Chain A
Amino acid sequence: MKENTYVVKKDWNSYPLWKGEGPPADHLDIELTERCNNACIHCCINRPAGDKRSRARELDTTAWQGILRQAAELGVMTVRFTGGEPLLRNDFPELYLFARHLGLKVLLFTNATLITPQIADLLAAILPLEEIEISVYGMRRESYEAVTGVDGSYAGFRNGVHCLLDRKIPFVVKGTLLPPNKKEMAEFAAWAATNPRMDSPPAYAMFFDMRGRRDSADKNSRIRRLRISPEEGLEILTRHPDSYRKEMSEFFEKFLSPPSDRLFTCGIGPGCVDAYGVFQPCLSLRHPALTFNLNKGALKEAVGSGFSRLKEMRATNPLYLERCARCFLRGFCEQCPAKSWSEHGTLDTPVEYFCRVAHAQARFLGLVMEEEQAWEVRDSEERIQNLKRRVTAL
C-alpha cells in the first residue's frame, strides 16, 4: 500500500487500455435504421422514413441493448450511432442512455433535423463524450432542400443546431458538395469557423459511394452523375496546397503498404451492425459472404472469426492483379472491397472512378507523371522521399 496516485486522468485516445493485444474491437458502428427523414439525392443508404417493411425488420430495443451489452463486454469503448437518421427511432433516448450507462462513449452521426429541445437536454445532461457529427447540405433553404428533397428540412437543421449551441453541446459539421450548394463553400466554411470545435476547415463528402445494398440502378446512376470530377475534386482538396502536400507526405510515409494481392489494405473494421442485426466488416461492405447474423450468434464470434479471415483474403480478378495488386497507391486510393462491392457486386474489381481520383492527386504531388499509371512506377519510394524533401523545404 505505498502508491499514492490513486486516480489517474487518461488521454482517452492514446491510453493503452489493454495490457495484452486488446479487445477484438474498440469501436463499433451501429446502424440503428436505414430510414431517413431526408431523401438526399446522393445518398448511398437512405430508405424512406415511413418505410414499413424496413421498420418492421429493424431490431427492437431489447435486441439492441443485448448487442450493446456484448460490445461493452468485449471492451468496445465507442459506439457510433448512425443510419439512415438514427434519431428517427423513437427509442433513441433509451438506447443512448443504455449505451452511456454501460460506460460506452457515443458518437452520433446525424443531420440534426430531429434534435429537439428534449433530445438536446438529454445530450447535455448525459454527455456523449464524442463530438456529434452533423452533415450539412446547404446554407440556404433553397440549396439545402434541393439536396434533401424535403420541405422544412432546412428549418429543422437550423433548429437542431440552435438547440446544441444553446446548451454548449460539442459538435462538428461536415459538408456535402453537390450542384445545388457548390457556390456556398466559402459561406459554409465561414459559418463552420464560428464553431469553436472546428479547429480546421470543414471536410466535404464529394466522391460519393454507390448504394451499399445495390438496391437501385436508378439511384446509382444519379449518384454517378453527381460525383465530382477527379480534377474538380483535386482543386477542392488542394485549396491550401502547402498543407495538403504536408499532410499527404506524412500519409505516404506512414501508411503506404507494399503492393500485394491481399484484398484488405485497411485496418479492417471496426465492424458494423446493420439495422437488422447483421454484422458486417464496415459500414459499406455488405457482401453476404462476409456478414454474420447476430440473431443466430454472438458479437464475439462475429468479430473474432470474421476479421482474421478477411486478413487472408486475396484478389483473383486478373485486372485487379494487373493493376491494383501492383500499385503503390493502394493504401491511398479509395479502392477497397466495399467500393468494389457497391460498384460492381464483387470484391476485387477495380473501381475506375476512385483510380482516377487517386491518380489526379498523385500527379499533383509529383508521385505519378502525366500519362503514367501508378502500377507502372518502379521508383515509388524515391518519389515519396522527393515529396518529403519538397515539403520540408516549404
Chain B
Amino acid sequence: MKKIRMDMVLSHSSDVVSREIDGALIIVPLTSGVGDMEDDLFSMNETGTEIWNMLDGTKTVQEVVEALTQLYRAEPDEIGQDVAGIITELLKRRMLVEATAA
C-alpha cells in the first residue's frame, strides 16, 4: 500500500471516469480490476465528492487539507484524517494516481 505524503499531488486515474447525475457523483470503471466485478459502480458521499473534485492534479494533499479546513471551519487534524481516509480507499481501488507518475 502506497504511503500518503502531504506533498503528494494526486489526480483521477485514467482507469475510471466520473459523472454527476442528479447531484450524485458516480465513478464508472473503464478497465478491469477497479471493482470486484466487471460491472461495479461506485458513488461518493458528500465529503468524498468534495475531496474527489479537489484531487485534480494541481494541488498537494496538504493544500487540499488546508482548503477544506477553511471551507468547513474544522480542525486540520480532523480534515486530515478524512482526506487520508478517502485517498487510501481511492488509491486501493486505482481510482487515483500520483500526478507526477501518471
**Chain A interface residues toward B at CB < 8 A:** 1, 3-10, 12, 15, 17-20, 22-23, 72, 75, 100-103, 105, 124-127, 129-130, 170
Q: Residue A101 contacts which of B30, B93, B95 (CB distance < 8 angstroms)?
A: B30
B39, closest chain A residue (CB): A129
From known contacts A9-B35, A17-B22, A23-B21, infer whether A1 and B93 are also in contact, taking CB-CB under 8 Å: no
Partner of A1, one of B23, B78, B90: B78
CA distance A264 to B47 in the complex (A): 44
* Cα–Cα distance between A12 and B23 once the two chains are bound (Å): 17
- The answer to the question of B46 belonging to the interface, with a C-beta cut-off of 8 Å to chain A, is yes
Q: What's the nearest-Cβ distance from chain A to residue B82, in Å?
A: 5
Contact of B19 among A8, A9, A18, A103 (CB under 8 A): A103
A103-B45 contact, Cβ under 8 Å, with A9-B35, A19-B23: no
Q: In the complex, which residues of chain A have a beta carbon less than 8 angstroms from the beta carbon of B8?
A: none
Instruction: Describe B's contact surface by its main secondary structure.
Output: mixed
Q: Is B21 within 8 A of A12, CB to CB?
A: no
A124 CA / B31 CA spacing, docked (Å): 8
CB <8 Å contact, A19 and B32: no
Determine if B38 is an interface residue (Cβ-Cβ < 8 Å).
yes
Q: How far is the CB of A129 from chain B (nearest CB, A)?
A: 5
B-side interface size class: 35 or more
A75: which of B22, B27, B47 is its contact (CB, 8 Å)? B22
Which residues in B have their C-beta under 8 angstroms from that of A7?
Answer: 27, 42-44, 48, 86, 89-90, 93, 95
Q: Which of B19, B39, B68, B93 contacts A130 (CB 8 A)?
A: B39
What is the minimal beta-carbon distance from B55 to any residue of chain A, in angstroms? 12
A selection of 16 A-B contacts at a CB cut-off of 8 Å is A1-B47, A1-B78, A5-B45, A6-B86, A7-B27, A7-B43, A7-B90, A7-B93, A7-B95, A9-B40, A9-B41, A10-B42, A101-B30, A105-B39, A127-B38, A129-B39
| CB-based contact A129/B29 at 8 Å | yes
Bound complex: CA of A101 vs CA of B18, how far in Å? 9
Residues of B within 8 A of A103 (CB): 17-19, 26, 28
Question: B45–A129 contact, CB under 8 A?
Answer: no
Q: Name the 5 nearest CB pairs between A and B, nearest first.
A: A6-B48, A103-B19, A6-B86, A103-B28, A18-B22
- Residue numbers in B under 8 Å from A75 (CB-CB): 21-22
Contacts of A9 in B (CB 8 A): 35-36, 40-42
Given A1-B79, A7-B44: A22 and B22 within 8 A (CB)? yes
Q: Are A6 and B51 in contact (CB under 8 A)?
A: yes
Say what secondary structure dominates the interface of chain A.
Answer: loop
B93 near A127 with CB under 8 A, answer no
Least Cβ distance of A98 to chain B in Å?
A: 11
State whether B31 touches A127 (Cβ < 8 A). yes
Bound CA–CA A7/B96 (angstroms) = 12
Residues of B within 8 A of A72 (CB): 19
Give complex CA distance A72, B21 in Å.
9
* Nearest CB in chain B to that of A101: its residue: B17
Q: Which of A6, A12, A23, A170 contacts B41 (CB 8 A)?
A: A12
B18 to chain A, nearest CB (A): 7
Instruction: Look across to chain B and name the residue whose beta carbon is closest to the beta carbon of A170.
Output: B38
Given the complex of chains A and B, what is the CA–CA distance between A12 and B28 in angstroms?
10
User: CA separation between A15 and B39, bound complex, in Å?
Assistant: 13
Of B30, B41, B95, which is within 8 A of A10 by CB? B41
Contacts of B27 in A (CB 8 A): 7
Q: Assuming A8-B43, A20-B22, A103-B17, what are 14 further A-B pairs, CB within 8 angstroms?
A: A1-B47, A1-B78, A6-B44, A6-B47, A6-B51, A6-B85, A7-B42, A12-B39, A72-B19, A75-B21, A100-B17, A100-B30, A103-B28, A127-B30
Interface residues of B in 39-93 (CB under 8 A from A): 39-48, 51, 68, 72, 74, 78-79, 82, 85-86, 89-90, 93
Task: Give CA–CA (A12, B26) in the complex, Å.
Answer: 10
A72–B17 Cα distance when bound, in Å, is 12
Instruction: Find the residue from B29, B39, B44 having the highest chain A CB count within 10 A.
Output: B39
A106–B18 alpha-carbon span in the complex (Å): 16
For the complex, give the distance between the alpha carbons of A276 and B35 in Å: 37
